[in-house]
Amino acid sequence: MKYKRILLKLSGESLMGNKQFGIDNERLSSYAQQIKEIHQLGVEIAIVIGGGNIFRGVQAEEGGMDRTHGDYMGMLATMINSMALQAALESTGVNTRLQSAIEMKEIAEPFVRRRAMRHLEKGRVVIFGAGTGNPYFTTDSAASLRAIEIDADVILKGTRVDGIYTADPLKDPTATKYDVISFDDAYGKGLKIMDMTAFTLCKENDLPIIVFDMDTPGKLMKLMSGEQIGTIVRN
């Protein structure tokens, strides 16, 4: 196996599937099945999922709401998605633990690094919900922070496209894909991979990021088997 311990970052928007809002059950079960396949290989898996399919803190600010208030609402949205993914994984027989950065003891454990590490060692999938627990930080930042805290080998960022391109491939047919790119080059070219806080955390802690297409079943398994899938960003 190429990686022993990974942090999988999923976007909330991807959970919508073809819907305009909320959670598409087919997409959810597809994700759960793909995660189960690599779990059966013995990979230790932590997951962070966004909340953009339900609510974004930035939306709130645009509507005149206080940004801090909106960000906390966004954290709650990530918890809804995390609970949905936990239920989907457990329905396939994968033991899962949900840890929240905000105390919600009826539905999730509090985030405790040592406990998270123990769950991973015991073969449980750990989902980290509620971002970092702080406003003004995205779920990308939460993914980078948690990955560093649990000593993950890599962040796998599942998106709708199969890597990083010179331009948006959905808008520009001449866009070409990078197989490998350095943090410095990605920054210099202005490629939007993660927000700057998340990106800097990964660069300073020498944590590679692989951007790949999670919406096509089988790509995650190929990635774990060592195939060149997506784009790797590293020092």
Report the pLDDT averaged over residues 179-183. 96
* Rounded distance between C-alpha atoms, residue 178 and residue 169, angstroms: 12
Whole-model pTM? 0.95
3-state secondary structure 29-87: HHHHHHHHHHHCCCCEEEEEECCCCCCCHHHHHHCCCCHHHHHHHHHHHHHHHHHHHHH
In this predicted structure, the answer to whether residue 160 has a pLDDT above a threshold of 90 is no
pLDDT digits (tens, 9 = 90+) for 125-144: 999 999 999 999 999 999 99
Nearest to 156 by CA among 79, 121, 208: 208
The residue ranking higher by pLDDT, 63 or 95, is 95
Q: What is the mean pLDDT of the chain?
A: 94
> What's residue 1's pLDDT?
73
Strand partners, 164: 178
Q: What is the CATH number of domain 5-234?
A: 3.40.1160.10
Residue 154: phi and psi, rounded to 5, are -165, 155
pLDDT digits (tens, 9 = 90+) for 223-233: 999 999 999 99
In this predicted structure, the answer to whether residue 115 has a pLDDT above a threshold of 80 is yes
pLDDT band, very low/low/confident/very high, at 167 (cuts 50, 70, 90):
confident
pLDDT band, very low/low/confident/very high, at 80 (cuts 50, 70, 90):
very high
* Rounded distance between C-alpha atoms, residue 6 and residue 232, angstroms: 14
For residues 10 and 140, the answer to whether their CB atoms sit within 8 Å is no
Strand order in the sheet with 180-182: 109-110, 96-100, 125-129, 44-49, 5-10, 154-159, 209-213, 231-234, 180-182
* Rounded distance between C-alpha atoms, residue 73 and residue 68, angstroms: 9
In this predicted structure, the answer to whether residue 60 has a pLDDT above a threshold of 90 is no
